Amino acid sequence: MGRAGRDAVYNNLKHLKENYKADVIIINVENAAHGFGVTQGIAREFLEKGCDVMTTGNHVWQQRDIVPFLEESKQIIRPLNYPENSPGRGSTIFELANGKRILITQVLGRLFMDAVDNPALVMDKLLKKQAFDRSGLIYGIGHAVYSLSDPRALIFEKFVQQLSAEKGREDEYALYAAIARLAPGMIAERRKMYKGVSPNIDFYSGFVYDMLGLPVELFTPIFAISRVTGWSAHRIEELVGGSKIIRPAYKSVAEKRAYVPLVDR
């Protein structure tokens, strides 16, 4: 729902509560932020207008700023059947004006819904070298130069979110957003030397290429084409200055052959 829909709720909430003598007002705020989950600001607005408890749904993670609010507030809950160590709570106890207490909870249905999994558990296995290529890395998280944030990724992410909405792939974007939010903290817990990490520009690249319909076989060439000039410059610097550290690493697999002048090629 957009602003007009929220205003309709705000303007009628007091009247509805008085008319029906409601003991408690429970509002499902799923996608209250223009169809993309709910923001912390919108959630607080609902509470200010008289809502007692808010429920959510499978888009609960789409707005990053709602996550700390899920942890701190007992007036908003996520689906109960998410893994137990997911942010927030799946139920809450609300005390009525007469002193009685009621339990409020919600569960996420499975009909026509994607299977629920916890990205934190998957990332934990990656970091423990128990999954994928057992490298202990979460690819796309971290950079040799950028630590607290990659400014390119911060700009790119906004367009990724817009494209995911256009292509109807908001749930996949929400997974990326969850990994981007959780991974830095999880890595910090496991690394002895830690300077801070964040998603880099290529964290989202593969997702974007796929949404644009590009074949997987082109992903790596596209990545490399834009970097050939820089790689060449690094190599020249290494040959001239004998630099100790060169990024990125390289290994030539071409057969050695004699130099051919440009005019003869």
Considering the domain architecture, whether residues 80 and 178 belong to the same structural domain is answered as no
Q: Give me the percent of the chain exceeding a pLDDT of 70.
A: 91
pLDDT per position as a tens digit, 125-176 = 788 888 777 788 888 898 877 777 889 999 999 999 999 999 988 888 888 8
Q: Taken in order 234, 240, 245, 250, is the CA torsion positive or negative? A: positive
Query: Each residue of 176-212: pLDDT tens digit?
Result: 888 888 888 888 888 766 678 889 988 999 899 999 9
Asked if the structure places residue 33 within a domain, the reply is yes
Does 244 map to a domain? no
23-26, long-range: CB < 8 A, 24+ apart: 23/96, 23/97, 23/98, 24/52, 24/53, 24/94, 24/96, 24/102, 24/104, 25/50, 25/51, 25/52, 25/53, 26/51, 26/52, 26/53, 26/54, 26/55, 26/104
Could you tell me if residue 91 is inside a domain? yes
- Domain range enclosing 58: 3-105
Say yes or no: 125 and 98 in one domain: no
Catalytic residue among 15, 34, 59, 234: 59
Residue 249, pLDDT > 80, answer no
Does 59 qualify as catalytic in the annotation? yes
What Å distances lie between residue 67 and 85, 178, 233, 241, CA to CA?
13, 10, 43, 49
- Helix 151-166 crosses helix 170-190 at what angle (to 10 degrees)? 150
Q: What is the pLDDT of residue 167?
A: 92
- Is residue 237 one of the residues assigned to a domain? no
Q: In the chain, how many domains are there?
A: 2
Within a domain: 245:
no
What is the pLDDT averaged over residues 256-260?
Answer: 87
The set of residues, in sequence order, having a beta carbon less than 8 Å from that of 249 and lying 6+ positions away, is none
- On the question of pLDDT at 251 being above 80, the answer is no
**Predicted pLDDT of residue 84:** 66
Q: Do 129 and 77 belong together in one domain?
A: no
Quote the percentage of the chain above a pLDDT of 90: 30
CATH code at 128?
Answer: 1.10.230.10
Looking at the fold, whether 180 and 129 belong to one and the same domain comes out as yes
